[in-house]
Structure 1
């Protein structure tokens, strides 16, 4: 076996990542136990999907430190920072919708530290990881829903909800090609 760097051999893969590889190979058809066990892996995956979208949009986005109340900072052309919170859902309701209940996670368990405050972030990025789609919103509700019927449109026009959220915040000047849609799209 050829070492990656002269004199450097890769350490054996930690047990947790070996186990994650087996469990997550079946995602989204995994057990609730595995979903909880690998929540950090899936959360990071959702953040990377959001990063990928921002890169494809030509936007400047930066990860925030773990202790911050938001996950990303989007820097607009006028240098204004927009705080982005990324949330993901893995399970659907009986009618195929994805429901996001905005609670902060906790290192001590899945119950979280309670709901977010409206001053914690500017835009929510809701990720349906199994569908590979993101919906952005600046509308403040502790319970948000992505309806199954929205997913094809989110795939076809992935930037539209971001532009609507920016317009809702009054940043129409940051929208490429000018904003001409109705603000009801951001709801």
Structure 2
């Protein structure tokens, strides 16, 4: 009969249709789907880290950080914040934990909560890594081209700020040695 997949847990076909137009969405739709768009930002950062040879490991929902990042010399806690709408020529990031409508409300992060911060401008497919713990950050529209041109620059700078060098590239670029071909 064939493989039967379990039903996909979507709220409704309307939610898929609403997100299909991303990033051209109204504020209400962006707010309604903030959780899933936040996950998209986290996976975007995963993709960037993996491209540069760093392994990100997802942490449970209510952890103080979103990822553990395996660097050859350390394990780093990474907090990821995603912006989906531009305001006044910039994307703005609130660096706090919790939710405004929850009993605990919004709270500042403790110094031990994370080592690095990744700020994702999801509509532009760019990110900036930082160690800066200010409660508010912004990425200007004028910065987007530079972030896109060199997505590794801010990562290297952030790693240096915590005392870690960027992982060195192998001299042989990973080429197989001797007769050991990857594909027979």
Call closer, same or farther: CA 1:93–1:108 in 2, change over 3 Å: closer
Match of 1:169 in 2: 162
Structure 2 residue runs without a partner (length 5+) = 170-184
Match of 2:23 in 1: 28
| Matches of 1:25 and 1:126, distance apart in 2 | 23
Q: Provide the aligned length of Structure 1 versus Structure 2.
A: 168
1:38 and 2:30 aligned: no
| Matches of 1:73 and 1:9, distance apart in 2 | 31
Contact between 1:92 and 1:98, CA under 8 Å: does it hold in 2? yes
Of 83, 86, 101, 1:89 maps to 83
| Matches of 1:9 and 1:55, distance apart in 2 | 29
| Matches of 1:140 and 1:101, distance apart in 2 | 10
Residue 127 of structure 1, CA deviation: 0.2
Residue 30 of structure 1, CA deviation: 1.4
Give deviations 1:104-127, integer Å, cap 9, x for gaps: 233955x94322223211111000
| Matches of 1:103 and 1:23, distance apart in 2 | 28
TM-score normalized with structure 1 length: 0.81
**Larger mean Cα displacement after TM superposition, 98-107 or 67-76:** 98-107
| Matches of 1:9 and 1:70, distance apart in 2 | 33
Q: Counterpart of 1:42 in 2: which secondary structure? A: helix
Residue 148 of structure 1, CA deviation: 1.1
Of 11, 14, 18, 1:19 maps to 14
| Matches of 1:20 and 1:99, distance apart in 2 | 25
Structure 1 residue runs without a partner (length 5+) = 178-187
Q: Counterpart of 2:123 in 1: which secondary structure? A: coil
Match of 2:137 in 1: 144
RMSD between aligned alpha carbons? 2.1
Contact between 1:71 and 1:84, CA under 8 Å: does it hold in 2? yes
Give deviations 1:120-143, integer Å, cap 9, x for gaps: 111110000000001000122111
Q: Counterpart of 1:67 in 2: which secondary structure? A: coil
TM-score normalized with structure 2 length: 0.82
Call closer, same or farther: CA 1:154–1:17 in 2, change over 3 Å: farther
Contact between 1:124 and 1:136, CA under 8 Å: does it hold in 2? yes
